[in-house]
Amino acid sequence: TGLMVMSLTKAITKNGTLIGVVGLDISLDQFSTSLSSIKIGDTGYVHMFDQDGLIITHPNNSLIGTDQVTNRSYWSKVSSENEGFISYELEDEDYFGSYITSDLTGWKIMASMTEAELTNDTNQILQIVIILFVVLSIACIVTAILFTNVIQGNIKQLIAGFNKMDKGDLSARVSIKSKDEFNLLGTQFNEMVANMGQIIASVSNSSATLLDSANELASMSEETNSSASEVSKAVEEVAHGATEQA
């Protein structure tokens, strides 16, 4: 029929004596068609050949059954290695290939693609990576700037609050809305100023009480001195009257 077939044979023995052979021919036409129809990108394709370089499947049907791969630059490498990558020139165009060897049959399965398409795809991926890198870098920079502005704003509020408190203004308060350590620091600052205000108010009230008590004591002292003066005058008068009577 002129079609590629794969033959499987099995020897039949009886008591160690060969009595016959069973063989089966399997057509590779459908398998070849299926494998050859595989497309890799726009220019890539898959083909297969045996250990001797006989092409079993290929998109170009005129090459099937020939050993043209043995005349190509990569044949010595492919025929001696089980798997790998190659670069070669075919019809004035550079190709990139990847191949692997079947453990069952020893046949080579190779996928090929023009380096121009591979490079184009690689460049597209590189462009996407570069764009993503630039976008992420910008996002990181913007985030860092915003975060830095928030930190600077919180620090400025705290400094302003401490300056007011340093000048004796105990009404100083800070309003930090960020949900971080600065918020806790701002809350503690407000509580500290409030507590200091309460302490100073309490001391002021105590001072006023002490002043009132001192004023009362001074008044009582003046009254006592006045009474003592009057008593002294009375005693002198009595003593003077006693002297005159004597």
| Mean pLDDT score across all residues of the chain | 79
38: its two tokens: 């595989």
Decide if pLDDT at 6 tops 70: no
pLDDT at 170: 72
Q: At 143, is the pLDDT very low, low, confident or very high (cuts 50, 70, 90)? A: confident
pLDDT at 84: 92
pLDDT at 199: 79
Entry pTM: 0.46
C-beta pairs of 177-181 under 8 Å, 24+ apart in sequence = 178/150, 178/154
From CA 137, how far away is CA 150, in angstroms rounded?
20
Instruction: Quickly tell me which residue has 């507590």 as its tokens.
Output: 195
In three-state secondary structure terms, 27 is strand
Under 8 Å between Cβ of 49 and 56: yes
Under 8 Å between Cβ of 100 and 83: yes
Quickly count: other Cβ atoms within 10 Å of residue 174's Cβ: 21
